Amino acid sequence: MKFAIPVMLAVLPLAAQEIKMPVSLDRLAAKASEVVDVSLDGALLQLASRFLSEKDPDEAHVKRLVGGLKGVYVKSFEFEDRDQYKESDVEELRTQLKAPGWARIVSSRSKRNGDNADIYLKTDAGQISGLAIIVTDPRELTIVNIVGSIRPEDIRDLGGHFGIPKIDINPGKNDKKDKEDNR
């Protein structure tokens, strides 16, 4: 019984984070040329939210978005050389995302350049309660875990706002324009 409280305290952060980042990822930081490690729990998100202005439309939009979140965790590694991480480093994560409630909604594989991407959604009683993204390519590994009520398109559509670059998601038009520009 006396161990119950420490065990509960140890499990609580994991429950909040939903997925546990593999320990092996921390070792990759030494090999990476660029590392981004963002870990924002509910309290920090609330604090950050207090500094988002209601008057600025972009910030007000993000503020509303963040209101439904309980955690934002991002780990991103960029390497100078290829194949600095093993598939097994990510496999532990993929296994966690096979748990009930999680569903892979998008999977993109490229044999040509080795770019792979997966988007997972967690639902509870029909409501979205989490989002996970795994992006891998020979020189990059990015893992995103957002806990709370969020739709992928809500974040995707932030492109062009809040200092986030907008990428043209209609490559056909872009390619045509590029070809015309090159003439």
Partner 1 sequence: MDDFEKQLKDALTKKDPSPFFEARVLGAVKRQALEHRASSRMWWASAFAAVLLVITGSAWQHERTIREEAAGKDAKARLELALKITSVKLQRISRKVEGI
Q: Which strand (E) or helix (H) includes residue 10?
A: helix 4-17
Of residues 78, 84, 80, 90, the one with CA closest to residue 23: 90
Q: If DSSP codes are grouped into helix, strand and coil, which group holds residue 131? A: strand
Q: Which is nearer to partner 1, 92 or 137 (CB)?
A: 137
Q: Which is nearer to partner 1, 7 or 18 (CB)?
A: 18
Q: Closest approach of Cβ 32 to partner 1, in Å?
A: 14
Token code pair at residue 165: 């670059």
Q: Which is nearer to partner 1, 41 or 92 (CB)?
A: 41
Position 54: which residue type?
E
Q: Which is nearer to partner 1, 8 or 38 (CB)?
A: 38
Q: Closest approach of Cβ 118 to partner 1, in Å?
A: 9
Q: Closest approach of Cβ 25 to partner 1, in Å?
A: 15
Q: Which is nearer to partner 1, 128 or 135 (CB)?
A: 135
Q: Closest approach of Cβ 62 to partner 1, in Å?
A: 7
Alpha carbon separation from 13 to 9, 17, 23, 134 (Å, rounded): 7, 6, 15, 21
Q: Closest approach of Cβ 6 to partner 1, in Å?
A: 27
The residues binding partner 1 (CB under 8 A) are: 36, 38, 40, 44-45, 47-48, 50-52, 62, 66, 72-74, 76, 106, 108, 110, 115, 117, 119, 133, 135, 142, 144, 146, 152-153, 155-159, 162-172
Are the C-beta atoms of 143 and 74 separated by less than 8 Å?
Answer: yes
Query: Any residues with CB less than 8 A from the CB of 133 and at least 6 apart, and which?
Result: 117, 118, 119, 120, 142, 143, 144, 152
